[in-house]
A and B are shown apart, each in its own frame.
Chain A
């Protein structure tokens, strides 16, 4: 019961912050709302016993990626957007997407059958040992590929953002 209250709390915080990301005027306010969303989702992950993923979410997403976003916003000194420069049919697009969202939620609620019982999990589920066991044996090739990808991203970012090549 306590778990349910916590889940609803985190979920509602996440959704409200996500609405602020989409609708906020000041880019830094959007960024901070996104950080709050990421934190709330980390809470949801903890409730699902995904401790490693929750820690990594805060470390990587909220602690590094969003720092980069906020840094760039501050560097470029972006202010609140001018609303009259908005694109055409903005409100129509927004309402359309919200209908799509409501439709998706309704479809899932009515037709999805997840009544299969949740699997039983052992004590080390979602912890470091289990994850690293799988990471370095079964998923070693994606792991190496990711390291190459990250290096390519670093080199690419440096080259693209340089003043003179």
Chain B
């Protein structure tokens, strides 16, 4: 019997992996992909609770989360392209012009 707890643990695991990726990786695009992973983990939580409560409001929230993720991915990747044009790299460690 697949209970809500199972899904929430899956969501927690994916979310932590996403955070690990954001903290560890240096490639800007991979960091954005880990952010998408976090958003998906949250989607799993919403769907689990929607199923437990029997309503579709959770599904609608997931729909909105996906739309926002699409918008954010689009703008983020445009930023990465603009960055690449200036510095020829997407390594976040080398984007330090304003440092110190």
Residues of A whose CB lies within 8 Å of any CB of B are 3-4, 7, 11, 14-15, 18-19, 21-22, 27, 30-31, 34, 37-38, 41, 44-45, 47-50, 52-53, 56-57, 60-61, 64-65, 68-69, 72-73, 75-76, 78, 81, 85-87, 90, 93-94, 97-98, 100-101, 104-105, 108-109, 112, 114, 116, 118-121, 125-126, 130-131, 134-135, 139, 142, 146, 149-150, 152-154, 156-158, 160-161, 163
Contact = CB atoms under 8 A, between A and B. Distances in A.
A13 to B, nearest CB: 11
A139 to B, nearest CB: 5
B73 A76 contact: no
Given A37-B37, A45-B47, A60 B70 contact: yes
Given A50-B59, A76-B90, A146-B67, A61 B27 contact: no
B63 A153 contact: no
A61 B14 CA distance: 16
Interface of B: 1-10, 12-21, 23-27, 29-30, 32-34, 36-37, 40, 43-44, 47-48, 50-57, 59-60, 62-64, 66-75, 77-82, 84-85, 90-91, 93
A22 B44 contact: no
B33 A161 contact: no
B52 A27 contact: no
Contacts of B72: 153
Contact of A160 (B29, B34, B79): B79
Given A101-B16, A126-B56, A150-B67, A72 B80 contact: yes
A153 B68 CA distance: 9
A108 B77 contact: no
Contact of A109 (B5, B33, B34, B85): B5
A3 B4 CA distance: 14
B52 A22 contact: no
A153 B69 CA distance: 11
A74 to B, nearest CB: 11
Contact of B16 (A53, A104, A134, A153): A104
A64 B77 CA distance: 13
